[in-house]
Structure 1
Amino acid sequence: MRIGGKPTTRHVGYLGRAEDIVAGRGARAPRAISSRSHGAVAALKTLLDRLKIVETIDAHVPGRADTIASVGQTLALAAIGRACHPTSKRGFAQWAGATTLSQLFGVPIEKLTSPFFWDQMDKVSLKALDEIETQILARAARQFGVKTDLLVYDTTNFFTYIASDNAHCDLPQRGKSKQRRNDLRQLALALLVSRDGGVPLGAHMYRGNLNDVSVFIEAFTKLRERLTAMAVEIEQVTFVYDKGNVSKENQARLEDVDYVTSLVPSHHKDLLALNEADAERLEDGTAVWRVRKHVWGKERTLVVLVSEQLRHGQRLGLDQ
């Protein structure tokens, strides 16, 4: 036969009568079809590969060649699980078995038991963890153009179900729980994120019974060292944090950096007495003043504003 004017050979086979074909299909048992979740785990695997996360971890935490998965693969799988379906390490294999993670990583998912995860995580020293985080964050900041001109620092805590008689670590302690679970041991976390996208650039875990102001300098110093290791120019950064971290001693340690923080209004009653008629107005009508005042042994720029939203919330609290 000819296609487009050119002689073409095409093989033709006889399948039989149409009635026989239909009858044969009707008698054939249906195929068993299995379904696997793929899109989300594949997208995250692509991102992990782009940032070379598995390779970076394995470079700092070498493992045996005959193990089920490398430490880098294990932590990467745990991270994907945390992003897609947060569960305990005991429940990880059941969820992951319904995805294509086994094919993507070449790892027998059913063998990723909770003891295996624990053994793998125990291989990561604090020194290795810090170096791994620094390299990955620096790479991510470069590739995605994360802006570091303004960074926000804040703390939080979260309760755990670690038993009271578990003495393997001293970080979990009872303290003032933000989730009102003062009966449980908790972990405290300080985090430094970019204003641009809220990208975490550093974290500091500390004991759950410490307050923000007492740990601020320790955490801030560690996070500052992280930025320096990432080749961030500290003199080009403005740090933002709330008044829960403020003390005269803490502020004295920050004289060489730019920062924005808040003050306790009751400590500056002269500012509370400012005449609202003299205030400037923002686009949304908020009244603001910009003043110079001697604070912490030095003249500084203060911005005072009247927040109707905060005032409304405080009134509701008083009326309850």
Structure 2
Amino acid sequence: MAGLIKQMVNGRPYYYAIETKRVNGKPRVVSKKYLGKLDDIIRKVTEPPRPSSVKSREFGLSAALLTITDKLGFVKLVDDVVVKRNQGATVGQYMLVAACNRCSAPTSKSKIGEWYESTVLPRIQNIDPKLLTSQRFWDNMDLITQEEVTELQIALAKRVVEIYQVDLRVLLYDATNFFTYIDTTNPCTLPQRGHNKQKRTDLRQIGLALMVSREGGIPLFFDVYQGNDSDPVEFDRLIREMIQHFNDLFAACDDLTIVCDKGNNSQKNLQTVDTSPLHFVASLSPSHLKKILTVPLKDYQDCRQERLKSTT
């Protein structure tokens, strides 16, 4: 029989749960468990139990990224273009996980599963982190052809502009490169040796060209190219491809201007600029401005228009 008793210790009441049984015909206490003070008992009854262990999961950025990609219909967009058998996670889901990882805490493909498990994503996407191995990513990425990459880029850029009403009147362009640890004997042609920005000329590099909106710096157009291509060569190629693929998008925007630096200057690029429907603003090296360099600074005036504030 169970019961509750109170015992006074140094003038303070403490409570115990006891169980009594008859032993040899006489009642005996066979079990006695300390419950604490009356306040302790009330708290244990009315409040939920405290967890024995706590694991935190990254939530904020992952949830924000999922909100954006859901609005863009990113996964469906990829899966509609890239064909895959009904086998595990889709290509779109793999690409979404890779993109979230790149935005949040970039890791190698072999570490994505570990990162993924530290976020709230498994609860939302219902993908087992153990399945996110580097081999699974390579298998799914191999399913995407270069033509499909271009198709997805065009569709996604147009969707971003439409949904978020991106102002295309001014676009900012720049190109860079980054070194890799791809072995010299690897037959892939994209990584090449060239003039590396980080001075690692001993390693093969890959070029990346990017064009973003002035407002918000939203990336809209990109190109990944061989590491030994010069900036002027890539600029000419990207501008021609942009005009070809996004002509309808540009036609809806009056006076679209592309801003770039002097690293893209060449006679061929000047001809490309002159014959294109776009406007361009680019810098020149001092050697091209010898006469202007002789003008004293006191003869210059600030531009008065609000959009040209702080410009001379």
Letter in 1 for 2:239: F
SS of 1:124 mapped into structure 2:
coil
| Comparing 174-183 and 98-107, the one that deviates more | 98-107
**2:176 equivalent to 1:163:** no
| Comparing 263-272 and 140-149, the one that deviates more | 263-272
CA distance in 2, matches of 1:100, 1:16: 45
Aligned with residue 268 of structure 2, among 237, 249, 273: 249
Letter in 2 for 1:135: A
Which residue number in structure 2 is paired with residue 60 of structure 1? Answer: 81
**2:292 equivalent to 1:271:** yes
Greater Rg by CA: 2
Aligned with residue 216 of structure 2, among 197, 206, 211: 197
Which residue number in structure 2 is paired with residue 103 of structure 1? Answer: 123
| Comparing 266-275 and 74-83, the one that deviates more | 266-275
State the TM-score, normalizing by the size of structure 2.
0.78
Aligned with residue 22 of structure 1, among 35, 43, 46: 35
Which residue number in structure 2 is paired with residue 206 of structure 1? Answer: 225
| Percentage of pairs with the same residue | 35
| 1:93–1:113 CA contact under 8 A, matched in 2 | yes
Which residue number in structure 2 is paired with residue 262 of structure 1? Answer: 283
Letter in 1 for 2:144: V
Gaps of 5+ in 1: 1-14, 284-302, 306-320
Letter in 1 for 2:230: N
CA distance in 1, matches of 2:94, 2:121: 11
Which residue number in structure 2 is paired with residue 84 of structure 1? Answer: 104
Aligned with residue 49 of structure 1, among 58, 67, 70: 70
SS of 1:254 mapped into structure 2:
helix
CA distance in 2, matches of 1:159, 1:119: 24
Letter in 2 for 1:170: T
SS of 1:91 mapped into structure 2:
helix
SS of 1:96 mapped into structure 2:
helix
Which residue number in structure 2 is paired with residue 124 of structure 1? Answer: 144
Q: Per-residue deviation at 1:275?
A: 4.0
CA distance in 2, matches of 1:37, 1:275: 56
Letter in 2 for 1:71: V
Q: How many pairs does the alignment contain?
A: 268
CA distance in 2, matches of 1:210, 1:237: 27
**2:294 equivalent to 1:281:** no
Q: Per-residue deviation at 1:277?
A: 4.1
Aligned with residue 60 of structure 2, among 33, 39, 47: 39
RMSD: 2.7
1:226–1:198: structure 2 CA closer, same or farther, 3 Å change rule?
farther
Q: Per-residue deviation at 1:160?
A: 0.5
Letter in 2 for 1:212: D
State the TM-score, normalizing by the size of structure 1.
0.76
Superposed CA deviations along residues 106-138 of structure 1, whole A, max 9, x for unmatched, are 211111110000000000111111111222221
SS of 2:139 mapped into structure 1:
helix
Which residue number in structure 2 is paired with residue 218 of structure 1? Answer: 237
| Comparing 147-156 and 271-280, the one that deviates more | 271-280
